Amino acid sequence: MEREKGTAQPVLILAIETSCDETSVAVVKDGNEVLSNLISSQIETHRAFGGVVPEVASRKHVEVITLVIEEALSVAGVEPEELTAIAVTQGPGLVGALLVGVVAAKSLALAWGKPLIGTHHIAGHIYANRLVTELKYPCMTLVVSGGHTELVQMEREGEFRIIGRTRDDAVGEAYDKVARALGFPYPGGPHVDRLAREAEEAVPLPRVWLEPDSYDFSFSGLKSAVLNVVNQSRMKGLTPDVAGIARGFQESVVEVLVEKAIRAVKSSAAKQLLLCGGVAANGGLRTLLTARCEAEGIELIIPPPVYCTDNAAMIGAAAYVKWIHDGGTPLDMVADPGFSLEKWSV
Ligand code: KG4
Ligand code: ZN
């Protein structure tokens, strides 16, 4: 069912995101105007454990979700009856965490008599770019988050084809593990990013390209190489060159991500390259990707940091695309930790 675009009534979507450690609720108008975007982060709670503890995450979502929903509506100045639909992250993510958002969204949909839009988390990260500018199809997206590293080709609006993915760790996960080995708390990405900037020179580390024509990634070998350097220094009674290691790791990761993304754009008809996910906040990645895209004449779009890490505004943006093409999702839908991006295509 293709809905008519540009009708007089604005499409107002209340979006809920609880797939990991942020409870976020937003109100988004017509898929690109953010009226409110509230984010309640659990990072301080999880830091003591060195990573996200799934059961603690679910409990924290339950504690705050109602308040965050009320606040998001109040900041937006929108009454429930004005809403077009309720969107929620259906997956992928931690099942117990997803469940809290899904149950809240279903309850509101029933109580207020509104349609429900089950939304894909990675489609959300990708469509965070629609909050910045109009997208032109076909386009290519480099998804770099704590749980995902993918190159996604989109021939048209709402259609996703994954042409490359990580074979082991996600890039954010590798950042977090390396940061931990260097003695920094969760989430470690920003620490490694800062250290890399401060370092005078990089400790040499390998680049993992895989087969020459592959768009896949692998980061676990690089992570082991970092651990080896750290352990060898300690065995010799030396203090590891933490900043140099961070810079070497970052240079290796960023070079491979950037070169594969550029090659994917050049070997397709993509009109734009989009960057998204928490690691899109990385200074080294933004700098090199911007420079390479300028040199190659590729239009690059990067969301501001608040829309790179998990947030509900991006879910509202993706849900809008689903809504105008396919309409709502049946109320008996379930939270799906392994939700497929390609199958979610409109
Ligand atoms: O997208 P996101 O908020 O959550 C997932 O859906 O996974 O990404 C979180 C990840 C964490 O691994 C965090 O360390 C990483 O993004 N991250 C960074 C930076 N800021 C956040 N990694 C590298 N450099 C950064 N500046
Ligand atoms: Zn995410």
Domain 136-302 falls under CATH 3.90.700.10: no
Fold: same for 12-127+308-344 and 136-302: yes
Q: Are 152 and 126 in contact (CB under 8 A)?
A: yes
C-beta 193 within 6 A of ligand 1: yes
Within the chain, strands assigned E span 12-17, 22-29, 33-41, 85-91, 116-120, 139-144, 149-154, 161-165, 272-276, 299-301
Known binding residues for Fe cation are: 121, 125, 310
Residues of the chain with pLDDT under 70: 1-7
For the domain made up of 12-127+308-344, the CATH class stated in words is alpha beta
Nearest CA residue ID for atom 23, ligand 1 = 189
pLDDT at 2: 46
CA distance 184 to 117: 39
Q: How far is the CA of 301 from the centre of ligand 1 (A)?
A: 18
Nearest CA residue ID for atom 7, ligand 1 = 146
pLDDT at 248: 98
Q: Count CB neighbours of 168 within 10 A.
A: 16
Q: Half-sphere exposure of 308 toward its Cβ, with a 13 Å CA cutoff?
A: 22
Tokens of 262: 């550029």
Tokens 């259906």, located at residue: 90
Which ligand neighbours the alpha carbon of 279 most closely? 1
pLDDT at 11: 98
C-beta 248 within 6 A of ligand 1: no
Strand order in the sheet with 33-41: 33-41, 22-29, 12-17, 85-91, 116-120
pLDDT at 45: 80
CA distance 285 to 253: 9
Which ligand neighbours the alpha carbon of 283 most closely? 1
Nearest CA residue ID for atom 14, ligand 1 = 189
Tokens of 93: 């993510």
C-beta 189 within 6 A of ligand 1: yes
Known binding residues for substrate are: 143-147, 176, 189, 193, 282
Q: Angle CA(19)–CA(160)–CA(101) in degrees, nearest 5? A: 20
- 3-state class of 166 per DSSP? strand
- Give the domain ranges of the chain: 12-127+308-344, 136-302
